[in-house]
Structure 1
Amino acid sequence: MIDARRLRVLRAVADHRTVTAAAAALYLTPSAVSQQLAALEQETGHRLVERGARGARLTAAGDILLTHANEVLAQLERAEAELADYGAGVAGTVTVAAFATGIGLVLAPAIAELTRTAPGIRVRVQDAEGDASVPMVLDRQVDVAVAVEYRGAPGDDDRRLTRVPLYSEPFDAVLPVG
C-alpha cells in the first residue's frame, strides 16, 4: 500500500525540484526526504525521481504517480477539513421530529436560516406528533423534537431534556353580542 505521507514528499520534490528545498518545505532533513522517496520507490516498484547536478526531477513513473498523488492528497485534505468542521459543530446531520404545522411554521424558516449561516449542517425532518417525537428524542432516534405540550409528557424538571419555548398560540373567546 502506498503511504500518503510519502506522496506528500513526492509532491514536494516535484514542486521544489531539489531534495533540500523539499526537505525545508516539509520541515524534514534531506536525509529523511531521501529515505521517504526510497521507500516510496520500493512500495511502487518503480524509480520515481532522478537526481542530477541541477536538482531532482520526476521520471515518467513519478509523473504518473504525482497525478494520482495530487488527487489522493486533495481528497485527504477535504476529508480533514470536513472532520474539522464536524468537530467544530459546523458540519453534520441533525434529525428533527416535528408535527406538520411545526414543520411549516417553525422548522422551515429555521432550516432556511441554518442553510445560510451553517451550510455544512444538513437537517433531516421526520413527521411525528408531539406525543411520539419526545420519546424519539429520549430513545435517540432523533436529535431534536418540535412538539406541543401534551398530557403525560416528561415534566420541566426532567434532566434528560432541554426545553426551549418557541412560541405560544393566542386563544380567542368568541361570544355573541351582549
Structure 2
Amino acid sequence: MIEARRLHILRAVADHRTVTAAAAALHLTPSAVSQQLAALEQETGHRLVERGAKGVRLTPAGEILLGHTNAVLAQLERAEAELAAYGSGEAGTVTVAAFATGIAEVVAPAVARLAGSAPGIRIRVQDAEGDASLPMLLDRQVDVAVAVEYRGAPP
C-alpha cells in the first residue's frame, strides 16, 4: 500500500527538482526525504526518480505516479474538510420521523430555514404515524421525532 505522506514527498521533489530543496520545503532532512523516496520505490516496485548533476528528475513511472498523486491528495484534502465539517456539526445527516401533518406544518418549514443557515446538514424525513415515531427515537433509528400527544395514546 502506498502511503499518502510519501506522495507528498514525491510531489515536493517533482516541484523543487532537488532533494535538498524538497526537504527544506517539507521541513525534513534531505536524508529523510531520500529514505521516504526509497520506501516509496519499494512500495511501488518501480524506480521513481533519477539523480543527476543538476538534481533529480522523475522517471516515466514517477511521472505516472505523480499524475495520480495530485488526484489522491486532493481527494484526501476533501475528505479531511468533510470530516472537519462533520466534527464541528456543520455537516451530517439528521433523520426526522413525523406524521403527515407534522411534515407539512413543522418539518418542511424547518428544513427550508435550515438549508439557508446550515447547508451542510442533510435532512432525511420518515413518515411515521402517531405514536410510531417515539419508539423509533428511543431505538435511535431517527434523531428527531415530531409527535402529538392525544387522549387515548399509549404512554
Give the TM-score normalised by structure 2. Answer: 0.91
Write the mapping of 1:102-117 to structure 2, written as runs, cut at 5 A.
102-117=102-117
The alignment-based identity, stated in percent, is 82
Q: CA deviation at 1:108?
A: 1.1
Who is 1:68 aligned against? 68
Q: CA deviation at 1:98?
A: 0.8
What per-residue deviation string (whole Å, max 9, x for no partner) do you get for residues 93-121 of structure 1? 11000111111121112112222222221
Amino acid at match of 1:134: L
SS in 1 for 2:141: coil
In structure 1, distance between residues paired with 2:66 and 2:135: 53
Question: Is the aligned partner of 1:24 residue 2:32?
Answer: no
Bigger shift: 79-88 or 20-29?
A: 20-29
If each structure's helix is expressed as a fraction of its own residues, which one has the higher value? 2
Who is 1:14 aligned against? 14
Report which of the two structures shows the higher radius of gyration computed on alpha carbons: 1
Amino acid at match of 2:82: E
Bigger shift: 30-39 or 46-55?
A: 46-55
What per-residue deviation string (whole Å, max 9, x for no partner) do you get for residues 56-110 of structure 1? 2211111000011111111111111111111111111110001111111211121
SS in 2 for 1:150: coil
Q: CA 1:25/1:130 → structure 2, altered by over 3 Å: closer, same or farther?
A: farther
In structure 2, distance between residues paired with 1:77 and 1:140: 31
Q: CA deviation at 1:153?
A: 6.3
In structure 2, distance between residues paired with 1:133 and 1:52: 70
SS in 1 for 2:109: helix
Who is 2:37 aligned against? 37
Who is 1:54 aligned against? 54
SS in 2 for 1:28: coil
Q: CA deviation at 1:54?
A: 2.4
Give the unaligned 5+ runs of structure 2. none
What per-residue deviation string (whole Å, max 9, x for no partner) do you get for residues 8-48 of structure 1? 11011112222122112222111101100011111112111
In structure 2, distance between residues paired with 1:61 and 1:21: 22
Q: Is the 8 A contact 1:6 1:37 kept in 2?
A: yes
Who is 2:143 aligned against? 143
Amino acid at match of 2:148: V
